[in-house]
């Protein structure tokens, strides 16, 4: 007679499966990163991260402006000359300032650009949560102690049962 | 009773009239300011290049002669990036001609043009028709513009006799502005 595996055994099996899937994904991901990207891939990656200096908010990769073409040419030449991505970005920022990068480095004043929006979002969500929580609470009217004593005395005089209902 | 109902409507109409009048006055003032203001001139920009050694400028001029910025060491040099298709460049050209003419006589400052994204024949025609006699370098691949961090013409740089970029001006310059920046840098007052 076949017995179905117990619930506990099924749960264990699911956990093992999950570990196997995550482990394989991590191994594949790490393995991919270990091979150096080709010069063309590096050029595309840098060009996508650099703002076209004479355009409005588009990358060098997406622009055909003369300045973008000149930057693409310079990036290719510098990769060919053996410069690292950081060295190429440093050259461009030494000419145009940090604003030439579409994602400016996270330090100093620019850090606030990255920190403030999530902080504002978190504060807003917390505020909404507090308001909703307060709305769910029954209305409570604050009554000064002397008034409360007077009401309780009056209720006691009328009878304890009614006094309890009034609360 | 009817007066009580009509009062808020009348009040609203009154407010709307005031708001419309205010918007009209604001719009008219804006039009007046835009219509009477002088045409835009260059503004000094603080780019990373200011205070550093001027990038090399070498190549062939529109006249077909070899040029090297290093050969001008010991003189103040105004480096102007221009294109024939750019209206602000056309606007500043008479002032550059006047500035170059006056300082050629004085012998203290030289002017150098760099062609920005323009056909050589167009740039040559533009320089010739405007009376520009200073050397203008052909920047085929845009490498000189890139080295100077140029975004679009006209942009002008003032290079000291020791080869340091001391000012970066964005937009069409006037002769008076160039003289002012030159005097300021010559006297060492910032």
Q: Is A112 exposed, middle or buried (0-12, 13-18, 19+ CB in 10 A)?
A: exposed
A105 band by pLDDT with thresholds 50, 70 and 90: low
Interface of A with B (CB under 8 A): 53-54, 66-67, 69-71, 73-74, 93-97
Q: What is the mean pLDDT of residues B11-26?
A: 86
Instruction: Please count the other Cβ atoms lying within 10 Å of the Cβ belonging to residue A62.
Output: 12
pTM of the shown model: 0.66
Chains A and B: how many Cβ contacts under 8 Å? 45
Both tokens of residue A129?
Answer: 């949560």
The predicted structure's pLDDT at residue B1: 44
Query: Of the candidates B48, B142, B150, which has its C-beta nearest A97's C-beta?
Result: B48
Query: Of the candidates A66, A74, A96, which has its C-beta nearest B149's C-beta?
Result: A96
The CA distance from A1 to A9, in Å, is 18
- For residue range B41-52, list pLDDT tens digits in order: 889 998 999 999
Query: Of the candidates B49, B116, B117, which has its C-beta nearest A95's C-beta?
Result: B49
**Beta-carbon separation of A96 and B47 below 8 A:** yes
Share above pLDDT 70 across residues of chain A, in percent, rounded to a whole number: 84
Most confident listed range (B3-17, B25-39, B78-92): B78-92
**Beta-carbon separation of B48 and A93 below 8 A:** yes
Query: Of the candidates B49, B117, B148, which has its C-beta nearest A66's C-beta?
Result: B117
Question: B148 to chain A nearest CA, in Å?
Answer: 6
**Beta-carbon separation of B145 and A70 below 8 A:** yes
Q: Which residues pair with B155 in a beta bridge?
A: B81, B170
The CA distance from A98 to A126, in Å, is 34
A34 band by pLDDT with thresholds 50, 70 and 90: low
A163 band by pLDDT with thresholds 50, 70 and 90: very low
The CA distance from B97 to A140, in Å, is 82
- For residue range B130-140, list pLDDT tens digits in order: 999 999 999 98
The CA distance from B142 to A149, in Å, is 88
Among candidate residues A56, A78, A79, the one with its CA nearest the CA of residue A67 = A56
Helix (H, G, I), strand (E, B) or coil at B158: strand
Report the relative pairing of strands B136-138 and B109-115 from DSSP bridges.
Answer: parallel
Report the relative pairing of strands B66-68 and B76-82 from DSSP bridges.
Answer: unpaired
Would the ipTM clear 0.90, i.e. be above it? no
Report the relative pairing of strands B76-82 and B109-115 from DSSP bridges.
Answer: parallel
Both tokens of residue A122?
Answer: 């978190």
Q: Nearest-CA residue of chain B relative to A71?
A: B146
Q: Which residues pair with B113 in a beta bridge?
A: B80, B136
Share above pLDDT 90 across residues of chain A, in percent, rounded to a whole number: 48
Interface of B with A in 106-135 (CB under 8 A): 116-117
């Amino acid at each position: 007679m076949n017995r179905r595996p117990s619930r506990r055994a099924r749960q264990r099996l699911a956990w093992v499966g999950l570990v196997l899937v995550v482990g394989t994904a991590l191994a594949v991901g790490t393995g991919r990163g270990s091979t150096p990207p080709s010069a063309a891939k590096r050029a595309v990656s840098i060009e996508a991260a650099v703002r076209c200096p004479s355009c409005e908010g588009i990358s060098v990769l997406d622009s055909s402006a003369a300045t973008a073409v000149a930057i693409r040419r310079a990036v290719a030449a510098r990769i060919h000359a053996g410069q690292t991505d950081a060295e190429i970005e440093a050259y461009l920022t030494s000419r145009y300032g940090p604003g030439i990068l579409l994602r400016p480095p996270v330090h100093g004043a620019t850090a606030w650009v990255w920190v403030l929006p999530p902080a504002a979002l978190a504060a807003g969500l917390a505020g909404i949560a507090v308001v909703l929580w307060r709305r769910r609470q029954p209305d409570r009217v604050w009554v000064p102690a002397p008034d409360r004593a007077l009401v309780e005395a009056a209720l006691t005089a009328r009878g304890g049962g009614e006094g309890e209902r009034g609360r | 009773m009817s007066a009580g109902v009509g009062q808020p409507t009348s009040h609203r109409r009154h407010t709307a009239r005031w708001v419309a009048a205010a918007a009209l006055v604001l719009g008219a003032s804006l039009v007046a300011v835009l219509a009477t203001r002088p045409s835009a001139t260059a503004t000094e920009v603080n780019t990373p290049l200011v205070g550093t050694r001027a990038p090399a400028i070498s190549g062939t001029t529109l006249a077909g002669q070899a040029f090297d910025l290093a050969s001008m060491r010991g003189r103040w040099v105004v480096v102007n990036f221009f294109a024939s298709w750019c209206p602000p460049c056309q606007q500043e050209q008479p002032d550059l001609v006047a500035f170059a003419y006056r300082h050629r006589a004085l012998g203290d400052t030289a002017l150098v043009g760099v062609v920005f994204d323009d056909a050589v024949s167009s740039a040559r025609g533009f320089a010739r028709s405007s009376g520009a006699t200073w050397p203008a370098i052909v920047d085929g691949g845009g490498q000189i513009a890139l080295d100077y961090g140029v975004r679009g013409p006209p942009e002008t740089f003032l290079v000291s006799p020791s080869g340091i970029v001391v000012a970066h001006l964005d937009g069409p310059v006037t002769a008076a502005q160039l003289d002012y920046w030159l005097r300021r840098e010559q006297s060492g007052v910032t």
